[in-house]
Amino acid sequence: MIKILFVCHGNICRSPMAEFAMKDLAEKNNCEDKFFIASAATTNDDIGSDMYPNAKAELKKHGISFTPRKARRITRKEYSDWDYIVAMDNENILDLHYIMGGDPENKIKLLLSFSGVNREVSDPWYTRDFATAFNDIKIGCEGLFKGAAKWKNV
Over range 101-130, report the average pLDDT. 95
Per residue in 79-88, pLDDT tens? 999 999 999 9
CATH of the domain at 67: 3.40.50.2300
For residue 98, give its domain range: 2-151
Residue 42: pLDDT above 90?
yes
CB 108 within 8 A of CB 96: yes
Query: Known catalytic residue: 8?
Result: yes
User: How distant, in Å, are the alpha carbons of 41, 58, 139 from that of 45?
Assistant: 9, 22, 27
Query: Known catalytic residue: 14?
Result: yes
Residues 60, 82, 71, 24: what is their CA dihedral angle, to the nearest 10 degrees? Answer: 10
| Residues across the chain | 154
When divided into structural domains, the chain yields a total of 1
pTM (two decimals): 0.95
Confidence grade of residue 118 (pLDDT, cut at 50, 70, 90): confident
Residue of 14, 24, 89, 95 marked active site:
14
